[in-house]
Structure 1
Amino acid sequence: MASVAGVVLRRCVQLPAAARLSTSARALGGPGLPTVVERHGSREVLGYGFNGEPNYMDRVDFPIPAVRFKEDTAGIKVLREKEKGDWKKLTPEEVQELYRATFCKSFAEIQAPTGEWKLVLGGTLVACSIAVWIYLWMKVFVYDQLPDTITNPSKMEAQVQRMIDLRMNPVEGIGSKWDYEKGQWKN
């Protein structure tokens, strides 16, 4: 069986990229895509489908899938013949069985919350806690203490006075806030 898969794989790789991706690859000698029967067995194909392929998808925006959810059994075939007549003769259980043969979920089940928000919230909290631990680690082990010119108020005042004396940033900086003629801060 492995040798057959190897031959199919080699033949598929030898084809050009467009042929490997197209549905006509089988006509060009490649394995091609599986047929409807290979994919779905004896499930009834109802129509075009969401993307043009006969596949089953539960979607609110495209409510009719291309194939039925389950294969027809003897009981379902009897119910399908019975549904061609008057629907008032069907019991609620039979209607439910017909529905479940065609669809996997109802609209309420499709739109029901999945609880995915819990995973997202948990991941966000884990990422935040890792960021806090990295910050604390960097603060304790990587960075030195702040210099005296930032933490000591008298040294900060001396540094500001030096900037004023050197007339640093006279247009928009600290020098623009100082009145050099009066020797005081502008109002």
Structure 2
Amino acid sequence: MLSAHRAARPLYRLRIGNREVVGPSVTGMDDYFDRVDQPCPPIRFKEPSDEINALREKEKGSWKNLSIDEKKKLYRYSFCQTFSEMEAPTCEGRRLVGSVLMLLSVPLVLYSIAKNTIFGPLPDSLSDEGKKRLVRWYIESRTDPMEGGISSKWDYEKNQWKEKPYLLMKSK
């Protein structure tokens, strides 16, 4: 028997077809769903056929008279999945990891393209030779001789370092 809210909706039967309504729905809509937390959906999974109607009549008697295959057909008439099928692992975790890795690879590819095409080679002043030339220029121009600069660590009379500056120390 249909409740008042179901009978009032003209599209109700068009949406679910001839499937039997077997219980109330949590959402108020008569849609089929497989959920572990609500194991009994409001409508049956399949529409009845002649074979299913015959099995439904047979199930009203003793279930010992039903074969395993018939019991499975009756189950699949009402439900799409078993609990073990619902709880079986899906590939969502792998799909998520793959999506994250693909998204992370996009900026790396863009960086590589930008580094190789847009930006030129590094300036010569960043090489060891360039740093030595820069320090030599600082010494020759006597840059900051009183305030602890590089020129203050150079002995101009002996033409050697008083103490080796941090800039020239090799870090390994």
- Where structure 1 has 5 or more consecutive residues not aligned to the other structure, the ranges are 1-23, 28-32, 168-183
- 1:45 lines up with 2:27 in the alignment: no
Structure-1 separation of matches of 2:94 and 2:86: 18
**Root-mean-square deviation over aligned CA pairs:** 3.5
Q: Are the equivalent residues in 2 in contact too, given 1:80–1:98 (CA < 8 A)?
A: yes
Match of 2:125 in 1: 148
- 1:127 lines up with 2:103 in the alignment: yes
Q: Quick one: which amino acid aligns to residue 148 of structure 1?
A: S
Deviation at 1:48, TM superposition (A): 1.6
- Where structure 2 has 5 or more consecutive residues not aligned to the other structure, the ranges are 150-164, 167-172
Q: Quick one: which amino acid aligns to residue 105 of structure 1?
A: Q
Structure-2 separation of matches of 1:147 and 1:123: 40
- 1:81 lines up with 2:57 in the alignment: yes
Q: How many correspondences in the alignment? A: 136
Q: What do residues 86-114 of structure 1 show as CA deviations (whole Å, max 9, x unaligned)? A: 22222111110110000111112222233
Structure-1 separation of matches of 2:56 and 2:84: 24
Which one has the largest radius of gyration? 2
Higher relative contact order (CA 8 A, sep 6+): 2
User: Which residue, 84, 107, 110 being the options, matches 2:86?
Assistant: 110
Greater percentage in helix: 1
Q: Are the equivalent residues in 2 in contact too, given 1:47–1:54 (CA < 8 A)?
A: no
Output the TM-score relative to the length of structure 1: 0.57
- 1:165 lines up with 2:147 in the alignment: yes
Q: Are the equivalent residues in 2 in contact too, given 1:42–1:72 (CA < 8 A)?
A: yes
Match of 1:36 in 2: 12
User: Which residue, 64, 70, 92 being the options, matches 2:46?
Assistant: 70
Match of 2:152 in 1: none
- 1:58 lines up with 2:40 in the alignment: no
Structure-2 separation of matches of 1:112 and 1:42: 30
